[in-house]
Amino acid sequence: MIANIGFGVLVITLVTSLIAVITAVYGVTSKTRAMLETSRLAALSTFPLLSISIAVLIVLLLSGNFEYVYVYQTTSLSMPVYLKIAALWGGQQGSLLFWCWLLSGFTFIVLIRKWKQDRDLLPWVIVVTNITIFFFTLLVLFFENPFLKYYIMYNGEIITSLFQPFHAIAADPTDGSGLNPLLRHFGMVVHPPMLYLGFVGFIIPFAYAIAALIEGRTDDHWLKATRKWSLTAWLFLSLGLVLGSRWAYDVLGWGGYWSWDPVEISAFMPWLTGTAYLHSMVMQDKRGLFKHWNIALIILTFCLVIFGTFLTRSGLFSSVHAFSESELGPAFFIFITVMFIASLGLLLYRWSSLSSGYQIKSFFSRESAFLYNNLLFIAIFAICLLGVIFPILSELFTGQQVTVGPQFYESAAGPLFALLLLLMGIVPLTAWSTSTARNLGKSIWKPALVSLTFPIAALILGAHRWVAVLAIWLAALVICVTLYDYIRSIRLRAASQHESIGKAFITLTSRNRRRYGGYIIHVGVALMGVGIIGIEFFQTQTQSMVKQGETLELSGYTVTYNNLEITDTPDGRNVAEAEMTITRDGRDLKVVYPRIDYYYDSDQAVTVPGLRTTLADDLYIILVDWEPVTSEGATFKVFRNPLMNWFWIGSIVAVLGTLLALWPSRERKSIQKEPA
């Protein structure tokens, strides 16, 4: 019964979102206040309505109503409560509904907070967001309904249907098949909602941009009004990506964190264009530059967000993420095409009124650095897009599918990432407007010299590949230059204002939150780079079958296999857990327990590595197999991932930097001037 409520409110949402769109357009064109008010109320109502639908689905998931297809497929009696709730986004239907609900919530917030201020833009924001909500509700209702039930026909056939067909009786399974065990991990519980928050968050600045284009408000208002939305969306998207990596590192058992899988890339692409947008946003804000470009970037990001949502849904590509194939493909394709062409048409229509009265003069100015930053991000994006659609392109032109693997992305985009690091290293010491190579050289040589000690140290420690040494230098350059500039500014301020260093640090940081937030993000990214360099260039591994008491040796570490314990757990797992002691130079460092969990109900094994992690390196031990009868011999694979921890530390630093940039400032008109 309750499911009918969940379904019913979806139908109502479909209607209200359509009403919101129509009344908004009519209200603006006819200048009817009552119409606009109707539109606002209709748009506001989608959030509570969809919340009811979400609540119903959660109740069904929690109460174990396995006659519902979605509940059967994503939960089982043995799953803990938090996983049952996470099942909301564990399957296709639920995650689409969840996506739609987030968008309605974001629209709700915008309407509540900005209706008075942005009277002219908001009707169009309603149009854009509610067209999107309408589209997704339509998908949920007609293609991917989470409220379908199982029925048994008179001939014994089992079908799924929303309502009870004639001559059919309701099926009543006693338990569900459960969420795939590989997904039962904390990282996986929070990774999809983070990604979705990021995806959906970028729709608000997009809606504002479109509203500005339609209204002809070609000033910077749309951009400034949605700055925090963009930054927040970027934060969540970044978190989603990092948490996905962490999940892969912990669960997938191949010692990796990123595999250039099409679905990973499809979430990475809006991140790339979104990051480019965050940077070029600053240029419009401070210099009035890149106005067309910003709108183009946010349009692109929106389309990539929809494309990313679609890729995980379409089954178009083979990947660990892909959901089953469904009929969503054409629907998504049409939606993206229509939105893209319409937005691009609007941009072209307003092209001339968007031009800026400023041009970049110096090759070594900060403006120039931002320009190249954007070009690099777009180039990396283009490489990713090419790689993802290459099978389709090649089939179109040659009739044969040709795919590209991780090496393609690494060798094509790797050098561009290096250039980005170089830019990040230079940018704090560039000046706005006019700057010369000499000026830049004068201010940069000290920190640059310091940064050279790192690659030299790496060479002494035995790094041989010049690519790795160069990469280390670039990451060190970013960190050294940024810290140098930060410290120098603090000391200058302390001297000129007669403040203590501590006070100067606090005032300087709090008055330039975005600037220093950005720098902290850069340091975080450079630290993540250090982790990537460590695992990509210096990973070592060994594998062997050993008997109890025997050891494996890897890069100075000794790993002793003590014993293996095989147990059945009450929640339906067969756990084979090995005990291994890690020693170095005769000292016991840690005992780890790599294991394999075998889930009986879903016939699925999950390899859980044993991990010893320090700032210098990770020792990552996988139990590969064991002798079933004697349980004496077991095979292990051991990876040493140098510096890997810095990847996670760097991501935390970057998050802190973003939070600093997001922190609401008390002094509204704080000093925006940058020290030259």
Does 379 participate in binding other proteins (rule CB under 8 A)? yes
Site for other proteins in 477-496 (CB under 8 A): none
Distance CA 73, CA 556 (A): 47
> Smallest gap, in angstroms, from Cβ of residue 379 to other proteins?
5
Dihedral sign, CA of 190, 195, 198, 199? negative
Distance CA 67, CA 84 (A): 16
Q: How far from the centroid of its chain's Cα atoms is residue 477's Cα?
A: 27
Among 58, 386, 389, 649, binds other proteins (CB under 8 A): 386
Burial class (CB in 10 A: 0-12, 13-18, 19+), 55: middle
Residue 598: φ, ψ to 5°: -110, 120
> Smallest gap, in angstroms, from Cβ of residue 201 to other proteins?
26
> Smallest gap, in angstroms, from Cβ of residue 546 to other proteins?
10
> Smallest gap, in angstroms, from Cβ of residue 362 to other proteins?
5
Among 438, 498, 587, 669, binds other proteins (CB under 8 A): 438
> Smallest gap, in angstroms, from Cβ of residue 637 to other proteins?
6
Does 497 participate in binding other proteins (rule CB under 8 A)? no
Among 19, 171, 450, 470, binds other proteins (CB under 8 A): 171
Site for other proteins in 526-555 (CB under 8 A): 543, 545
Token digits of residue 505:
């640090």
Dmax over Cα atoms in the chain, in whole Å? 89
Does 588 participate in binding other proteins (rule CB under 8 A)? no
Among 99, 115, 150, 208, binds other proteins (CB under 8 A): 150
Nearer to other proteins, 118 or 144 (CB): 144
Token digits of residue 61:
């998931």
Does 233 participate in binding other proteins (rule CB under 8 A)? no
Nearer to other proteins, 337 or 433 (CB): 433
Nearer to other proteins, 58 or 545 (CB): 545
Does 407 participate in binding other proteins (rule CB under 8 A)? yes
E strand or H helix that includes residue 416: helix 406-426
> Smallest gap, in angstroms, from Cβ of residue 497 to other proteins?
29
Nearer to other proteins, 106 or 370 (CB): 370
x/- site string to other proteins, residues 253 to 272, per CB under 8 A? xx------------------
The one-letter code for the residue type at 614 is T
Does 315 participate in binding other proteins (rule CB under 8 A)? yes
Distance CA 437, CA 364 (A): 6
Nearer to other proteins, 348 or 506 (CB): 348
Nearer to other proteins, 370 or 538 (CB): 370
Q: Provide DSSP, 537-587.
A: HH-EEEEEEE-TT-EEEETTEEEEEEEEEEEE-TTSEEEEEEEEEEEETTE
Dihedral sign, CA of 462, 466, 469, 471? negative
Site for other proteins in 346-365 (CB under 8 A): 355-364
Pick the piece of the chain touching other proteins (CB under 8 A) from 292-300, 321-329, 485-493, 610-618.
321-329
Distance CA 16, CA 282 (A): 37
**Is the distance from CB of 246 to CB of 187 less than 8 angstroms?**
yes
Does 572 participate in binding other proteins (rule CB under 8 A)? no
Site for other proteins in 609-628 (CB under 8 A): 622, 624-626
Rg (CA), the chain: 27
Does 391 participate in binding other proteins (rule CB under 8 A)? yes
Site for other proteins in 12-41 (CB under 8 A): none
Pick the piece of the chain touching other proteins (CB under 8 A) from 21-29, 229-237, 395-403, 661-669.
395-403
Residue 583: φ, ψ to 5°: -130, 155
Distance CA 224, CA 203 (A): 15
> Smallest gap, in angstroms, from Cβ of residue 542 to other proteins?
11
Nearest partner of 67 among 169, 141, 184, judged by Cα: 169
- Angle at alpha carbon of residue 491, lines to 487 and 497, rounded to 5°: 140
Number of residues that bind other proteins (CB under 8 A): 85
**Is the distance from CB of 168 to CB of 152 less than 8 angstroms?**
yes
> Smallest gap, in angstroms, from Cβ of residue 29 to other proteins?
32
Among 117, 353, 433, 614, binds other proteins (CB under 8 A): 433
Nearer to other proteins, 6 or 391 (CB): 391
Does 173 participate in binding other proteins (rule CB under 8 A)? yes
- Strand order from edge to edge, sheet including 169-170: 158-161, 149-152, 169-170
CB within 8 A of 647, min separation 6: which ones? 245, 257, 527, 528, 530, 531, 532, 534, 535
Residue 475: φ, ψ to 5°: -65, -40
Among 402, 449, 652, 671, binds other proteins (CB under 8 A): 402
Pick the piece of the chain touching other proteins (CB under 8 A) from 40-48, 394-402, 423-431, 650-658.
394-402
Among 322, 346, 450, 470, binds other proteins (CB under 8 A): 322
> Smallest gap, in angstroms, from Cβ of residue 632 to other proteins?
13
E strand or H helix that includes residue 463: none
> Smallest gap, in angstroms, from Cβ of residue 82 to other proteins?
20
Among 11, 109, 112, 320, binds other proteins (CB under 8 A): 320
Site for other proteins in 627-666 (CB under 8 A): 633-635, 637
Distance CA 360, CA 290 (A): 11
